Homo-oligomer: A and B are copies of this chain.
Amino acid sequence: MARIVMKFGGTSVADLDRIRNVAARVKREVEAGNEVAVVVSAMSGVTNQLVKYCQDLSPLHDAREYDAVVATGEQVTSGLTAIALQEIGVEARSWQGWQIPLRTDGAHGKARIDGIEGAELIRRMRAGQVPVVAGFQGIGPDNRVTTLGRGGSDTSAVALAAALKADRCDIYTDVDGVYTTDPRIVPRARKLAKIAYEEMLELASVGAKVLQTRSVELAMKERVRVQVLSSFEEHTGGNLPGTLVVDEDEIVEKEMVSGIAYSRDEAKVTVRHVPDRPGIAAAIFGPLSAANVNVDMIVQNVSADSMTDMTFTIGRSDLARAQAILAAHQAEIGYAEMLTDPDVAKISVVGVGMRSHAGVANTMFAALASKGINIQVISTSEIKVSVLIGVEYTELAVRALHTAYGLDA
């Protein structure tokens, strides 16, 4: 017997047939002797419609009213899922954030969870009732509904799993797990049985969007074991069918590299011939930060005759804004020239095994060189090596690295 939180995303509850399918899955877990709590998103499309209503009425709408409106999508599916469960003989009831209560801070539209009262839910689960919790929402200090930001239902589920001391949090989605890389690029990509929290965070932040980043951070902090699995495939007993996101220590045989991620949403900016003096980095990045332009990789070349070049990457959608900001601050920064390139991609190799393996970066550079791919920028962290290359080489690079690190199935 285990205690499990099962979370279903918008495509998994998109219509009544899929809600019935969700109920059948929950019933199987209950009949296997488990205590189950369910977290649901809104039917796919509903949240977008509600957001659009708010934006059409007022581009700068009150975030508290936005929350009151947008949170209703999950309230509908939690009630419908409870009805579907009751219909097949599973005792169930819906819970809205304010009823649990699931308390958040007052940052409407992007609230953070402060705490969840789990005692009553645990009592009911022990008595055989399945709580069906409306995801994505809670109640703020002002006694008003708050939402956790887009994709927040993943975070609801992980937080609930922590509060209920669940053995596992199963996130049902439209993919069947986490892969060594994008199977659309590398058909021989393998599904990972386990992946460490840190690896999942690095993979998510470079574009392998299976779980909301905040939910992984929370799972890591609270040590919640998360399984990513498909709500559209039949799973038959035995091993866990999806990918388990767990603490590094649970992964006995650590591969040097667990996965290859890529992002094509990058742009490169080079500010040439800037005075090499203390405070120059702050002069460049301060105005960008103030305008909420997120800077990722940064490289500063070795100084020559007291002048230097600064290269960095930003999201491509921020490029026009960043150019305008830097142009406005040219005198202050004192650069001679600004160069930009929107046609770049970031390729990353990720693995907690890097900590105990040498030569990971070198394998990468050699593999790319053998394909004639030029590396424009390099950045490394404890469990990741990223490079910036021309966007047209993306697929070639990902395939070469997948083979070079022995990840092919």
Contacts and interface: CB of A to CB of B under 8 A. Distances in A.
Interface of A: 16, 19-20, 50, 53-54, 56-58, 61-62, 64-66, 68-69, 72, 75-76, 78-80, 82-84, 86-87, 93-94, 96, 98-99, 143-145
A38 B103 CA distance: 28
A143 B19 contact: no
5 contacts: A16-B53, A50-B76, A61-B86, A69-B76, A99-B144
B68 A54 contact: no
This chain: copies in complex: 2
Closest 5 CB pairs of A and B: A69-B79, A72-B72, A68-B79, A58-B87, A65-B79
A314 B56 CA distance: 49
Contacts of A96: 68, 145
Contacts of A69: 75-76, 79-80, 83
Nearest to A96: B68
Most B CB within 10 A of own CB, among A58, A69, A144, A145:
A69
A128 B76 CA distance: 33
Contact of A68 (B19, B20, B53, B75): B75
A56 B16 contact: yes
A232 to B, nearest CB: 20
A144 B98 CA distance: 10
Contacts of A78: 68
Given A20-B57, A57-B20, A98-B98, A62 B75 contact: no
A339 B65 CA distance: 59
Most B CB within 10 A of own CB, among A50, A75, A79, A94:
A79
A80 B98 CA distance: 20
A75 B72 contact: yes
Contacts of A99: 143-144
Nearest to A77: B69
A61 B84 CA distance: 9
Given A57-B80, A99-B144, A86 B62 contact: yes
A408 B79 CA distance: 52
A353 B369 CA distance: 100
Given A93-B65, A99-B144, A58 B79 contact: no
A82 B62 contact: yes
Contacts of A82: 62, 65, 68
A19 B54 CA distance: 12
B61 A83 contact: yes
